[in-house]
Structure 1
Amino acid sequence: MLVIALVDRTGSGLWASVSVLYFTYVSGLSVAQVGTLAAVAGAVGIAGAPVGGRIADRLPLTRVLIALQLLRALASFALLTTDNYALLLAFSALGGLADRAAGVLTKLYATRVSGPDRVRYQAVNRTVANAGWALGGLVAAAALALGTTAAYRWLLAGDSLSFVAAAVLTVRCGEPASSSRKVTGSETRAARTEPANPWRDRTYLAYVATETVLFLDDAVFKVGLPLWIADASTAPHGLAPLLMVLNNVMVVGLQVPLARFGATTAAARTLLLPLSVAFAAGGVTMALSATRGPVGATLLLTASAAAFTLAEMLHATVSWELSVALAPDTALGAYLGVHGLAQSAQRSIGPLAVTAAIATGPVGWTVFGAGIAATCLIQHRLVRDRLTRTPLSVPPVTVSEH
């Protein structure tokens, strides 16, 4: 599955950096139309996470994953066939739905395969995925140097083919054991101690709500840092892409070593405390960058990017462990599907949150970081009783993987 993650993310890296340019220069859409296209795809994609998780509790996981990868490939290929706006909306929405569902099912597969080593597995998976993103981005940058319509089309075709390759590779993966499709003995008793329906589980829903806030670091790098550098700091505009590189390099180099600090459920919960400090530090250094000259602003923005990247890595470790530990084994797919809503919702509210911080100025960034830090502490308290009451770890399984 790690090879699949590399192939998948390399293809996504090809497309993510040029999608707006493709729809603008190849499909001939206006800025408003491109924005609407992205919004619709994101809104429809929100449903993908819970729907995919629910299906995975009832059908063989690898088969569903194969179907979703092929659906993603079909949606991407379809974009090449038309410039009709209505069809582009439909194909983008279909791709968004399949993408979010596939993301949840990939996490579910990794959880079932890795068992008690799930945190380290996730760390390795994120490292591989970031390497894939970087590789795809480099290829896209080289292709964009040509500046031709054919180059854009080939990048989209490459993204589509990566999904086909991922589907083929998934065929070779063994089907992991699933408590949700075969419940016996002690598993039945465990299922009775926790609600099988995540939508009726108030603690889990509250946890997902706090997760939505903790995922805001994504919007900082995609929207916040570039706009702040351009509009409110004296740092050179060329710093923005360099900070993205810093983010990627830190994740590739440090995600796996940091994972050992959250190897157990209790340790993962404890990580919420230093995580709150990292978020607060990121907000403060971002605010201070507006009060310094070019050199000082550059140093402070670099420190802020490093702090938010550290927060991203710590949260990835915490989120991976707690999202599984808080869920009953017999409904793990459904629960992880609901957890996937946090990232989907963040894609909508994240840009609004960071632009509000920018509009408010240095105080806004201070409040932004402090607000997320406070949410870390709220989550730390929220999950305490649940984790103390019921051991919900996923048992180890053995499965062939290529």
Structure 2
Amino acid sequence: MLVIALVDRTGSGLWASVSVLYFTYVSGLSVAQVGTLAALAGAVGIAGAPIGGRIADRLPLTRVLIALQLLRALSSLALLTTDNYALLLTFSAAGSLGDRAASVLTKLYATRVSGPDRVRYQAVNRTVANVGWALGGLGAAAALALGTDAAYRWLLLGDALSFALAALLTLRCGEPPSPSRPVTGPAAAPTAKPANPWRDRTYLAYVATETVLFLDDAVFKVGLPLWIAHASSAPHGLAPLLMVLNNVMVVVLQVPLARFGSTTTAAHALLIPLSAAFALGGAAMALSATGGTVGATLLLTASAVAFTVAEMLHATVSWELSVALAPGTAQGAYLGVHGLAQSAQRSIGPLAATAAIAAGPAGWAGFGTLIAATCLLQHRMVRARLTRTPLSVPPVTVSEH
């Protein structure tokens, strides 16, 4: 599955950085049309997480993953066939739906395969995915140097082929045991109705706090570039360098940091230093507006480091708690609901970051403080639930090639 993650994210890296340019220069859409297409496709994609999780509790996980990869491949290929706005929107929405569902099911697969080692497995998976994104981004940059319609089309074709290859590789993966689909037959024990995450108030409240904690994503995609361009004296070229710093830190440090959250108790305790990292990131961003070029550059770099540490710590905490808080018989459904947090953040994150920029230094101080306080709220909220929930899942062994 790690090889699949590398192939998948390399293809996504080819397309993610040029999709807006493709729709603008190849499909001939206006800025408003491109923005609307991205927003509506993203909104449809939000449903992918809970739908995919629910289906994976009822059907073989690898087969569902293969179907989703093929859906993504066909959606990408279909974009090459038309410039009609309605069709482009339909195909983009289908691809977004498949992307969010596949993301949740990949996490579910890791949970079932790795058992108590799921945090380390996910850390390695995330490191591999970041390498894939970097490789795809480099490929896209090289192709864009040509500046032709054919170059854009080849990038989109590469994206589609990566999903098709991922589907073929998934065929070689063994199907992990599923507590939500017990053995059937005359000797099988009767099973209780699986838990419904939509009726689980504690889990829904946890997912709501997760939406806030995922806002670090908007810092690097929207907040830092705009803040550097409009409100600080740092050179504009610092923005892409901080993105590179973020990527390198994740690749180098995600796996080592994962050992600090290798159990549910340890992951729960990490919410305290996570709170501090978010607060420091917001404070450094706010202070960057008060100094000269050198001071602003140093403070923005410090902020990027703090938010990257927060990103890695939250990834570790989130992987463990989202599973530990879910009953084994409904892991797919629960992780699907948890996937809504990241999907929702993609919509509200840019708004939160631009609001912080509009409010000036106080806005960034408040931004960091809000997320830090949410970490502490989550720490308190889930404590009682964890005392009633098994703190690990039994290890399983499954063949994987």
TM-score range, shorter chain: over 0.9
Q: Give the equivalent residue in structure 2 for 1:207.
A: 206
Once the two structures are TM-superposed, the CA of residue 169 in structure 1 deviates from its matched residue by 0.2
Letter in 1 for 2:270: L
Q: Is the 8 A contact 2:212 2:345 kept in 1?
A: yes
Q: Give the equivalent residue in structure 2 for 1:97.
A: 97
How far, CA to CA, are the matches of 2:285 and 2:189 in structure 1? 50
Q: Give the equivalent residue in structure 1 for 2:27.
A: 27
Q: Give the equivalent residue in structure 2 for 1:55.
A: 55
**1:163-312 equivalences in 2 (<5 Å):** 163-182=163-182, 196-312=195-311
How far, CA to CA, are the matches of 1:323 and 1:263 in structure 2? 14
- With over 3 angstroms needed to count, the CA separation of the structure-2 counterparts of 1:365 and 1:189, relative to structure 1, is farther
Q: Is the 8 A contact 1:20 1:34 kept in 2?
A: yes
- With over 3 angstroms needed to count, the CA separation of the structure-2 counterparts of 1:69 and 1:128, relative to structure 1, is same
Q: Is the 8 A contact 2:263 2:391 kept in 1?
A: no
> With structure 2 as the length reference, what TM-score do the two structures score?
0.97
**SS state of the match for residue 168, structure 2?**
helix
Once the two structures are TM-superposed, the CA of residue 393 in structure 1 deviates from its matched residue by 2.3
Once the two structures are TM-superposed, the CA of residue 389 in structure 1 deviates from its matched residue by 1.5
Once the two structures are TM-superposed, the CA of residue 188 in structure 1 deviates from its matched residue by 8.3
How far, CA to CA, are the matches of 1:244 and 1:76 in structure 2? 27
| Gapped regions of structure 2 (runs ≥ 5) | none
Once the two structures are TM-superposed, the CA of residue 369 in structure 1 deviates from its matched residue by 0.2
Letter in 1 for 2:340: L
Q: Give the equivalent residue in structure 1 for 2:86.
A: 86
How far, CA to CA, are the matches of 2:28 and 2:149 in structure 1? 11
- With over 3 angstroms needed to count, the CA separation of the structure-2 counterparts of 1:319 and 1:183, relative to structure 1, is farther
Q: Is the 8 A contact 1:51 1:101 kept in 2?
A: yes
Per-residue Cα deviation, 1:315-337 (whole angstroms, up to 9, x for no partner) = 00000000000000000000000
Q: Is the 8 A contact 1:191 1:328 kept in 2?
A: no
How far, CA to CA, are the matches of 1:359 and 1:48 in structure 2? 33
How far, CA to CA, are the matches of 1:104 and 1:67 in structure 2? 14
- With over 3 angstroms needed to count, the CA separation of the structure-2 counterparts of 1:190 and 1:350, relative to structure 1, is farther
Q: Give the equivalent residue in structure 2 for 1:154.
A: 154
Q: Is the 8 A contact 1:288 1:362 kept in 2?
A: yes
Q: Is the 8 A contact 1:191 1:329 kept in 2?
A: no
Q: Give the equivalent residue in structure 2 for 1:119.
A: 119
Q: Is the 8 A contact 1:190 1:328 kept in 2?
A: no
Runs of 4+ in 1 over 4 A off after TM superposition: 187-192
Once the two structures are TM-superposed, the CA of residue 189 in structure 1 deviates from its matched residue by 11
How far, CA to CA, are the matches of 1:127 and 1:189 in structure 2? 41
**SS state of the match for residue 291, structure 1?**
coil
Q: Give the equivalent residue in structure 2 for 1:37.
A: 37
Per-residue Cα deviation, 1:105-160 (whole angstroms, up to 9, x for no partner) = 00000000000000000000000000000000011011111111111100000000
How far, CA to CA, are the matches of 2:189 and 2:385 in structure 1? 19
Once the two structures are TM-superposed, the CA of residue 239 in structure 1 deviates from its matched residue by 0.6
Letter in 2 for 1:336: L
- With over 3 angstroms needed to count, the CA separation of the structure-2 counterparts of 1:339 and 1:191, relative to structure 1, is farther
> With structure 1 as the length reference, what TM-score do the two structures score?
0.97
Q: Is the 8 A contact 1:8 1:162 kept in 2?
A: yes
How many residues get paired?
398
Aligned sequence identity (%)? 86
**1:387-398 equivalences in 2 (<5 Å):** 387-391=386-390, 393-398=392-397
| Gapped regions of structure 1 (runs ≥ 5) | none
Per-residue Cα deviation, 1:318-363 (whole angstroms, up to 9, x for no partner) = 0000000000000000000000000000000000000000000000
Letter in 2 for 1:206: A
Q: Is the 8 A contact 2:174 2:399 kept in 1?
A: yes
Letter in 2 for 1:310: V
Q: Establish whether residue 69 from structure 1 lines up as the match of residue 69 from structure 2.
A: yes
How far, CA to CA, are the matches of 2:343 and 2:327 in structure 1? 22
Once the two structures are TM-superposed, the CA of residue 392 in structure 1 deviates from its matched residue by 5.0
**SS state of the match for residue 46, structure 2?**
helix
Letter in 1 for 2:70: L
Q: Is the 8 A contact 2:264 2:391 kept in 1?
A: no
Q: Is the 8 A contact 2:263 2:392 kept in 1?
A: no
Letter in 2 for 1:166: A
How far, CA to CA, are the matches of 2:50 and 2:298 in structure 1? 42
Letter in 2 for 1:29: L
Once the two structures are TM-superposed, the CA of residue 395 in structure 1 deviates from its matched residue by 1.5
Q: Give the equivalent residue in structure 2 for 1:140.
A: 140
Q: Is the 8 A contact 1:329 1:392 kept in 2?
A: no
Letter in 2 for 1:177: P
Q: Is the 8 A contact 1:226 1:240 kept in 2?
A: yes
Q: Give the equivalent residue in structure 2 for 1:383.
A: 382
Q: Is the 8 A contact 1:56 1:333 kept in 2?
A: yes
Letter in 2 for 1:290: A
**SS state of the match for residue 29, structure 1?**
coil
Q: Give the equivalent residue in structure 2 for 1:369.
A: 368
How far, CA to CA, are the matches of 2:277 and 2:153 in structure 1? 41
Q: Give the equivalent residue in structure 1 for 2:320.
A: 321
